[in-house]
Structure formats: C-alpha cells, structure tokens
C-alpha cells in the first residue's frame, strides 16, 4: 500500500486527537510537525513518536517527502497556510472552517484545480457510522421524501475550558463558524446542497471573561455574533432550521432531526463519529433504535485526511472535499449576510451533489 507522508502545521489543542487517530491508517504517516511556536512542534513530534521530526513552517513546506499538509492552525491562519502549501506543490486538508472569507476559500479551490492538487477539510465526522447510517436510512426511503430538518448547537462558549479561547470571539470565530461546519456538513450529507438561506444573528454579551486556568479573569471583546439562526432551503425542497449559540446556558433540544413524508429520523451529535440513531415511521408508530452500519474499524479525526490520501492514490474524489467545505463556508456567510441585510441569500452551484457515501470500511480504499 502506498504510504502518503503528511506534514502537520499547527500543534495546539486538537493536534493530539489527529496524532492518536492517524495511527489507525496504514496509508498515511504523520512525519513532520511545524508551528510558529517551535516548542509545540517539538512536543507533538515526540508525542507522535517514530521518526517524526519537528521543524519550522518553511522547512516543512520545502520538505520534498511531504505530499499533504494537515493544517491545524487557528481559523485566521487557515488561508495563508493552505495557500503556501498549495504554492509549495502540496495538497492541503484544513481544520474547519475552510477559510475566513468566501473569496479566500474560492482562491484555494481554484489554485488547487490549476495545480492538480487537492483541497479538503474538516469536519470528517460525517464519515462516521452515525451520520452514514442516517444517510442510508434516508436513501433507503424509510422516512419517505425529506420535508424538513432542525439542528441545534447551543451552549455558553469555550472560555471555561479552552486555554486560549480568544479566537472563538474574533472574526472567523463565533458559534456558526466554530460548530456550524459539523451541523451543516451533516445536513448537506443527508439532504444535499442548499439553494438559499435567510438568517438572524445577535451578540448577547459584548464582553466575555475567561475562566479556564491559564488566563483566568482575562476579558475578551466579542467581535462576532454569538446567537445565530438560519433558515435553509435545500435544493431537494426540504426546509431546515439551524440555531448555533454561545449565549444559551441550558436547553432540551436534539442535535439534528430530519422530518420525512413517512417518518422522523433522530441524527446523533455531528461532532462525533457514532451515537444513537432513532427512527419513527408512520407504519410502526413508535420509536426504535437503528443499529449502526456494520462495525466500522475506522473512526475519529484523521478519517478525512486518510480518505484524501486514498483518493489521490486511486484518482477518485475525496469525500471531505474542497467543494463541500466551500459550500459550508458560503452557507455560514450567507446566514450572517441575510441577517445583516434583511434578505434571502442565494448560494453558488459550486457543490453539485452529496459526497460519496462511506457505508463500509472497504468503501474507503475502493
């Protein structure tokens, strides 16, 4: 099996998760770690073990062994790091969101297209058994044709646990850009591309106080809306509602539900790879648990980048691809734009269809 060498740029909080999960795959190897903070890069190379090295960002970009850059920097740096990777002749897989602006996202897609390289990015949770089981339920017709969907991600922000939570309240942060990618990617996987959106947003608390240990008491100015509500018209005719919020202390809402002409599907937390799938149908008139698709060995963050490496080797399309991440990005912007201008915003036709399903592990390398 061809082993693709991956270089990681951005060695903060989430990088350990990738290090742990990448070990499942024989087709990828995390070989080099870089960060503007070299100590962090060194510590992650050690944590990864094997012969992984730490180096500067420039050294990593110039390393001829590396063919995919795993960009785990903060959102503000996603574009510049990804563009530099593409210019250095490497494919790139970004953490979410793809970039801050739509223009940046489109530039990455075009640059990759011109150079025969790949762009993709998080989340890859939609490739887990939870969302894929839901997709199969819908595609098997068990809930009839999709009528609507609701999605709720509500909490009180990240300043109580994240050691450096400032970026969540800066441009590129906020609950929609932070968590919306999980929910929107799941909805798009289940229902297909979105045609147009409306939205309303607000900032409920203009200042937040960090209560995690390192920066306890530090005040953060809130630059972005922290309660964001979107109305989503899917191209297949289904109508979705999404609320993402850092302003809600407690609630009883589900993560995602899909309503069909013949039943209702409860979708597990799209920030995880598995979870409980529940189905109610007109025929059964009761709730039942849907068993997840046959035991899936591959799970956890790194699945998307492993799939990208397989797809490059097989000359097929990777699932967590640039068009999908761009469509999620444009949808998040459109919700904010719709709120700012009091209008419905039409989306581009960049994404033409759902990504390929991943109903079994063998679909990954096939």
Ligand X SMILES: NC(=O)c1ccc[n+]([C@@H]2O[C@H](COP(=O)([O-])OP(=O)(O)OC[C@H]3O[C@@H](n4cnc5c(N)ncnc54)[C@H](O)[C@@H]3O)[C@@H](O)[C@H]2O)c1
What residues line the site for ligand X (CB under 6 A)? Answer: 9-14, 35-37, 40, 57, 72-75, 77, 81, 95-96, 164, 178
Q: How far is the CB of 177 from ligand X (least distance, A)?
A: 8
> Is 26 in contact with 1 (CB distance < 8 Å)?
yes
Angle between the N-to-C axes of helices 38-48 and 15-22, in degrees from 0 to 180, rounded to the nearest 10: 20
Q: How far is the CB of 255 from ligand X (least distance, A)?
A: 16
- For ligand X, the closer CB: 57 or 190: 57
H or E segment at 304?
helix 303-314
Q: How far is the CB of 210 from ligand X (least distance, A)?
A: 13
> Is 24 in contact with 297 (CB distance < 8 Å)?
yes
Residue of minimal CB distance from ligand X?
12
Q: How far is the CB of 156 from ligand X (least distance, A)?
A: 16
Q: Which two tokens stand for residue 279?
A: 């189905």
Q: How far is the CB of 264 from ligand X (least distance, A)?
A: 29
Q: How far is the CB of 21 from ligand X (least distance, A)?
A: 12
> Is 125 in contact with 302 (CB distance < 8 Å)?
no
- For ligand X, the closer CB: 168 or 280: 168
- For ligand X, the closer CB: 179 or 190: 179
- For ligand X, the closer CB: 20 or 262: 20
Maximum Cα–Cα distance across the chain: 61
- For ligand X, the closer CB: 154 or 290: 154
- For ligand X, the closer CB: 16 or 264: 16
**CA distances, 192 to each of 239, 321, 343, 359 (Å):** 12, 14, 23, 17
> Is 94 in contact with 325 (CB distance < 8 Å)?
yes
The HSE-up count of residue 288 (CA atoms within 13 Å, CB side) is 13
10 Å Cβ neighbour count for 229? 18
């Amino acid at each position: 099996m061809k082993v693709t060498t991956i270089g990681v740029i951005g060695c903060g909080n989430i990088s350990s998760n990738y290090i742990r999960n990448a070990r499942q795959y024989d087709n990828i190897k995390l070989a080099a770690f870089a960060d503007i903070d070299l100590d962090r890069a060194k510590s992650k190379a050690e944590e990864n073990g094997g012969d992984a090295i730490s180096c500067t960002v420039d050294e990593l970009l110039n390393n001829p062994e590396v063919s995919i850059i795993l960009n785990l920097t903060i959102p503000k740096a996603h574009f510049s790091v990804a563009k530099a990777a593409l210019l250095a002749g490497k494919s790139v897989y970004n953490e979410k969101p793809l970039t801050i602006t739509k223009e940046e996202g489109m530039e990455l897609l075009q640059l990759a297209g011109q150079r025969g390289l790949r762009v993709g990015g998080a989340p890859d949770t939609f490739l887990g058994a939870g969302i894929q089981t839901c997709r199969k339920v819908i595609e098997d017709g068990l809930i009839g044709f999709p009528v609507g969907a609701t999605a709720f991600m509500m909490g009180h922000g990240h300043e109580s646990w994240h050691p450096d939570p400032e970026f969540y309240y800066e441009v590129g942060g906020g609950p929609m850009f932070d968590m919306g990618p999980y929910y929107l990617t799941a909805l798009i996987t289940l229902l297909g591309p979105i045609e147009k959106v409306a939205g309303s947003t607000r900032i409920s608390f203009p200042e937040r106080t960090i209560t995690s240990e390192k920066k306890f008491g530090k005040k953060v100015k809130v630059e972005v809306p922290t309660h964001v509500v979107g109305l989503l018209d899917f191209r297949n005719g289904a109508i979705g509602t999404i609320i993402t919020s850092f302003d809600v202390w407690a609630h009883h809402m589900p993560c995602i539900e899909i309503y069909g002409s013949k039943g209702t599907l409860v979708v597990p937390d799209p920030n995880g790879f598995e979870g409980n799938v529940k189905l109610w149908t007109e025929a059964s008139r009761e709730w039942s648990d849907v068993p997840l698709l046959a035991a899936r060995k591959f799970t956890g963050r790194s699945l998307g980048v492993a799939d990208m490496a397989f797809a490059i080797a097989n000359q097929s399309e990777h699932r967590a691809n640039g068009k999908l991440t761009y469509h999620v990005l444009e949808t998040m912007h459109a919700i904010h734009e719709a709120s700012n201008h009091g209008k419905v915003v039409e989306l581009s036709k960049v994404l033409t269809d759902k990504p390929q399903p991943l109903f079994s592990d063998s679909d990954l390398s096939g």
